[in-house]
A = this chain, B = another copy of it.
Amino acid sequence: MAAYKDLRGYLEALEKAGKLKRIRRAINKDTELHPLVRWQFRGLDEGERFGFLFDRLVGTHGESYNGAVASAVIAPSLEAYAIALNCAATRQAMYDRWAEAFRRPLPPKRVPSGPVKEEIHAGEGLLAHGGLKEFPIPVTTNGWEALPRLSGLCWVSKDPETGEVNVGTYNGVLLGPLESCARVSPRGHMRIHWQKCKGRGVPLQVAAVVGPSPAVVMTSITEIPYGVSELDVAGGLAGEPIEVVRCETVDLDVPATAEIVLEGEIPTDYVLPDPASGEHTGYTFIDRSALAFHIRCITHRKNPIWHDLVDQFPPSESSVMGNINREAHMINFLRGSCGIPQVKDVAFHHCGGSRRLTVIRLQDLGGTRTSNRTVWQALNASLAVSTEWPKIAIAVDDDIDPWDLDSVFWAICFRYQPHRDTHIVQGRGATADQSGGPRTLSLDEQEYPTNRSGLQGNSSILIDATRKWPYTPTSLPTKKYMERAREIWEEEGLPPLKPREPWHGVSWGEWPESYRRHAEMGDRGEFDKIAEEILQQKKKV
């Protein structure tokens, strides 16, 4: 399948797949838009979710806007994310897609011009259409956030020493026709560029891109090693180079088919307070600061589509993407870097903001159960990829569905002994996790407490919920009976089945010969002979 040239081509594909809804009535971008989009994340099953395209936007004081807003269009669900990735809707296909993109990055291709130059506002004409206020930028976590939030921006900047390009997604707010900001964490790569410019006493030149093709959006939001250009990986993901054009006022290239590009500079001599912001942890950030952003030029397509990315209370677009990316990363790490081939699957969960909770599914190799030491190698190793996540890591056997929390808790209830199978690890960090300490402590102290009861840092808990020795069979009919019954079920026209694991019984080693022989006799209906044997085994008391 050919790569999407732009956001519009992707939205067409999404609509064709029944995963995009157009809202044609007038919607207040500041009070109605986001609550509407957010309902689906709290009120629909994942398979039912879709992206939104709002055609007609208004403001609280009667403002009207030329363009549209696309919200939650990249990853309202795994199915939609697969369409964005242009692959089958299976986790494995998605992992493979990313692995391929990293293996074969393709540098961007510069072209003389592109649709993003259809309108250019610069110099004296910079404010002709109102600057940033031309666009219907929505307020996101309404009731807590005070200003329209620029959520889907891909910020392009360069390392002033090496010239290496970085593209990253950072949040900002609308602070005026030519003023915005970017909240970049201490670990954000644009922060490194900023620090280096600060050292040189110059501002950082940037271009903030709105609505490039999905490959650029997905790469921009992903953690990619410093020094690797996201535009190259995006090319790998798309399967062809991303076409880029030169900016008008800064020394940067931007995707030629993007909807909007904001060119400008970030001062390095001061920062701004970041207004309240709803976050992926399920809570609202306060007390943070942001980098200021002065806009010097705006270029955009005709009737531009403002791209809004949903990254707040989970599940959200960022947790749909985050789970897949962290799963692929952790599997590679445990299997490849740590050499644990018993790792079959790794599941991350929305409720952990796609970071804190992971379930590691181990498979028997050679027909024996996974050894205790291998289980613990995997659990301990899982903490090595980050100073703060996972916070909860649970190891389960092959018959447990690691994405189904019911299945995971069944394993915990019957395969785990708390005093024997738990390990708590201190010395961990916890960005944005308020359980570390109250707001009366400094942000550093919340993230890595040093003086509370003499305990160091936050902690993670490792739980071994695998079988430690042979178990008796699962109390479900065996496969052949369940398969036969499924035929009858379907012939009778009973409601469609969505089988959950386990859906048939299997033996876990404790199945003595005498029981096996009786079960076989029972299958042949030899009940009288079985009963006779049992009655003969009566035991005086």
Which of A158-166, A238-246, A266-274, A379-387 binds B? Answer: A266-274
A379 to B514, CA, bound (A): 44
Q: Could you tell me if B525 and A460 are in contact, using CB atoms closer than 8 angstroms?
A: no
CB distance from A182 to the nearest CB of B (A): 14
Q: Could you tell me if A540 and B42 are in contact, using CB atoms closer than 8 angstroms?
A: no
Residues of B within 8 A of A473 (CB): 144, 283-284
Q: Could you tell me if B524 and A60 are in contact, using CB atoms closer than 8 angstroms?
A: yes
Residues of B within 8 A of A226 (CB): none
Q: Could you tell me if B175 and A281 are in contact, using CB atoms closer than 8 angstroms?
A: no
Contact mask for chain A residues 471-515; partner B; CB cutoff 8 A; 1 contact, 0 none: 111111110111011101100101101111011010010111001
CB distance from A490 to the nearest CB of B (A): 10
* Residues 430-479 of A at the B interface (beta carbon under 8 Å): 433-440, 452-453, 455, 458-461, 467-478
CB distance from A420 to the nearest CB of B (A): 7
Which of A30-38, A122-130, A248-256 binds B? Answer: A30-38
Nearest residue (CB) in B for A274 is B534
Q: Could you tell me if A144 and B519 are in contact, using CB atoms closer than 8 angstroms?
A: yes
Assuming the contacts A44-B498, A477-B142, asked whether A468 and B148 have C-beta atoms less than 8 A apart, the reply is no
Nearest residue (CB) in B for A21 is B494
Count of this chain's copies in the oligomeric assembly: 2
13 A-B pairs with CB atoms under 8 Å apart are A25-B492, A34-B477, A43-B499, A43-B500, A143-B481, A144-B477, A176-B535, A272-B537, A286-B512, A352-B410, A417-B436, A422-B422, A435-B467
Q: A2 at interface (Cβ–Cβ under 8 A)?
A: no
Main secondary structure, interface of A, reads: mixed
* Residues 260-306 of A at the B interface (beta carbon under 8 Å): 268-273, 275-276, 278-286, 289, 292
A433 to B412, CA, bound (A): 11
Which of A73-81, A95-103, A327-335, A401-409 binds B? Answer: A401-409
Q: A147 at interface (Cβ–Cβ under 8 A)?
A: yes
Q: Which of B27, B420, B541 contacts A269 (CB 8 A)?
A: B541
Residues of B within 8 A of A223 (CB): none
Q: A198 at interface (Cβ–Cβ under 8 A)?
A: yes
Assuming the contacts A174-B531, A285-B472, asked whether A480 and B143 have C-beta atoms less than 8 A apart, the reply is yes
Q: A424 at interface (Cβ–Cβ under 8 A)?
A: yes
Per the CB 8 Å criterion, the residue count for chain A at the interface is: 154
Nearest residue (CB) in B for A460 is B418
Q: Which of B141, B470, B524 contacts A476 (CB 8 A)?
A: B141
Residues of B within 8 A of A541 (CB): 198, 268-271
Assuming the contacts A283-B473, A476-B312, A524-B60, asked whether A531 and B179 have C-beta atoms less than 8 A apart, the reply is yes
Q: Which of B36, B312, B410, B474 contacts A475 (CB 8 A)?
A: B312
Nearest residue (CB) in B for A506 is B143
CB distance from A31 to the nearest CB of B (A): 6
Q: Which of B23, B146, B351, B512 contacts A409 (CB 8 A)?
A: B351
Q: A360 at interface (Cβ–Cβ under 8 A)?
A: no
Q: Could you tell me if B146 and A522 are in contact, using CB atoms closer than 8 angstroms?
A: yes
Q: Could you tell me if A519 and B146 are in contact, using CB atoms closer than 8 angstroms?
A: yes
CB distance from A15 to the nearest CB of B (A): 15
Q: Could you tell me if A349 and B406 are in contact, using CB atoms closer than 8 angstroms?
A: yes
Q: Could you tell me if B410 and A351 are in contact, using CB atoms closer than 8 angstroms?
A: yes
* Most central of A21, A59, A471 by chain B CB within 10 Å: A471
Residues of B within 8 A of A424 (CB): 418-419, 422
Q: A56 at interface (Cβ–Cβ under 8 A)?
A: no
Residues of B within 8 A of A11 (CB): none
Q: A228 at interface (Cβ–Cβ under 8 A)?
A: no
